[in-house]
């Protein structure tokens, strides 16, 4: 059954990935092109208004693709705004992204916008996949296919629907349900443990969603705190619900850790039941919770550190000291900081409640399963005793 499901999902996903690859190859071709730095002909070092050194370069480059392949051109950063264009320092042999423009006098002007990182990123992804397959083997392969399914649902359902103007919170919940059903059943199989984990995750997601709505309203978060939101509003073809997008991000962010902790708790309860089927529902729950409490303490710390790492520049505001520094109360009051606090705490609460919820469902299920055969055995025993008498 699992093999059949893997084949079906792979056949379903492959055309979508091919289509996405074709789009990625066609879309940016007329906007920028890859080039290689042949020579750094001159460097100029300036100091900006804040005392930072800015290196401006004049580069000779050669195109590597399209109509610019093997053609040479010059990029002169000294003629441009130093603080905007002079951040990267290049050297001969670097692969870069170049952009051609025509100025008001009709002259061609070339810009270097950034490094070409795609090749190294693909290699890093390959290392990740290789590690998963070597360590996890067939289970790792199923996990990878589940990851691919998650990516497709995000890119082909959740994001397009939100950009089209649909309710982000509703779309994220529906998408999360599909992600849960596909990935957990695919990786862990069609069994009671997986069903229990999915049930616990859905209930915990509901709690997380309600808390997100409540505290987003109480703290008056708008969803416009990040710079990316202003960019989205400018390029979007429809009016986006930025507050809903904020809530959707909290749901999707919590999902990635919730399914881990719910599967673990369902598995722990299952092993306790198998070790001693005579245990009561309360005993199964109590013993599984002892492990779950340890899991919660470590996973909450992991979640907080993950959010802190992603928002480290914001966290540095708490450590700024000096005559121009803001009090802690004002720093926390900033919407950017407040958004991260709400996201972190709400996600952590969802994790905490997931442990007792999933453990209770698992203990209830396994106890119900072992109670049923008991009357049959008792009747069989009484029948034997009756005959003996």
Residue 255 confidence (pLDDT) above 90 = no
Alpha carbon distance 350, 214 (integer Å): 14
Q: Average of pLDDT values for 275-292? A: 90
Tokens representing 280?
Answer: 């009561």
pLDDT given for residue 375 in this prediction: 44
Report the mean per-residue pLDDT for the chain. 76
| The two three-digit tokens of residue 237, written as one number | 């073809």
Residue 286 or 82, more confident: 286
Reported as a single tens digit per residue, the pLDDT across 322-361 is 555 556 666 677 777 788 788 888 888 888 899 999 999 9
Confidence at residue 217, expressed as pLDDT on a 0 to 100 scale: 87
What is the mean predicted confidence (pLDDT) over 252-280? Answer: 87
- Report the share of the chain in percent with pLDDT over 70: 73
Q: Which domains does the chain have, with CATH numbers?
A: 33-116 (no CATH), 138-373 (1.20.1640)
Instruction: State pLDDT tens for residues 208-233.
Output: 889 988 988 888 887 776 666 666 66
Task: Assign 14 a pLDDT band (cuts: 50, 70, 90).
Answer: very low
**Residue of 24, 30, 25 lying closest to 99 (CA atoms):** 30
In the chain, what's the furthest Cα-to-Cα distance? 114
How far apart are the C-alpha atoms of 279 and 281, rounded to whole Å? 7
In this prediction, residue 22 carries a pLDDT of 40
3-state helix, strand, coil in the chain (%, to 5): 70, 10, 20
pTM of the model: 0.65
pLDDT of residue 134: 86
């Amino acid at each position: 059954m699992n093999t059949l499901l893997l084949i079906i999902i792979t056949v379903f996903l492959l055309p979508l990935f091919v289509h996405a690859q074709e789009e990625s190859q066609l879309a940016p071709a007329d906007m920028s092109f890859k080039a290689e730095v042949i020579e750094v002909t001159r460097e100029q070092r300036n100091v900006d208004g804040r005392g930072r050194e800015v290196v401006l370069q004049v580069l000779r480059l050669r195109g590597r693709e399209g109509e610019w392949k093997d053609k040479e051109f010059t990029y002169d950063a000294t003629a441009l705004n130093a603080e905007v264009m002079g951040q990267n320092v290049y050297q001969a042999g670097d692969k870069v992204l170049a952009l051609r423009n025509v100025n008001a006098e009709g002259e061609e002007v070339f810009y270097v916008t950034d490094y070409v990182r795609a090749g190294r990123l693909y290699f890093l992804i390959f290392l990740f996949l290789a590690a998963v397959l070597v360590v996890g083997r067939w289970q790792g392969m199923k996990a990878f296919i589940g990851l691919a399914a998650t990516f497709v649902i995000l890119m082909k359902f959740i994001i397009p629907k939100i950009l089209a103007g649909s309710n982000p919170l509703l779309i994220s919940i529906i998408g999360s349900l599909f992600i849960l059903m596909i990935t957990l059943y695919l990786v862990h199989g069609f069994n009671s443990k997986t069903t229990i984990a999915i049930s616990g995750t859905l209930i915990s997601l509901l709690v997380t969603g309600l808390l997100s709505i409540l505290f987003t309203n109480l703290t008056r978060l708008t969803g416009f705190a990040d710079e990316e939101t202003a960019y989205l509003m400018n390029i979007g073809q429809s009016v986006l619900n930025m507050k809903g997008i904020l809530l959707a991000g909290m749901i999707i962010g919590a999902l990635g850790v919730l399914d881990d902790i719910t599967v673990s708790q369902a598995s722990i309860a299952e092993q306790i039941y198998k070790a001693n089927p005579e245990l009561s529902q309360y005993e199964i729950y109590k013993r599984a919770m002892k492990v779950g409490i340890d899991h919660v303490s470590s996973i909450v710390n992991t979640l907080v550190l993950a959010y802190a790492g992603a928002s480290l520049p914001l966290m540095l505001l708490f450590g700024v000291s000096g005559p121009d520094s803001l009090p802690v109360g004002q720093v926390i009051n900033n919407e950017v900081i407040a958004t991260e606090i709400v996201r972190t705490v709400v996600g952590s609460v969802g994790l905490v409640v997931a442990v007792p919820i999933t453990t209770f469902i698992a203990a209830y299920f396994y106890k119900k399963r072992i109670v049923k055969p008991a009357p049959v055995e008792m009747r069989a025993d009484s029948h034997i005793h009756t005959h003996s008498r």
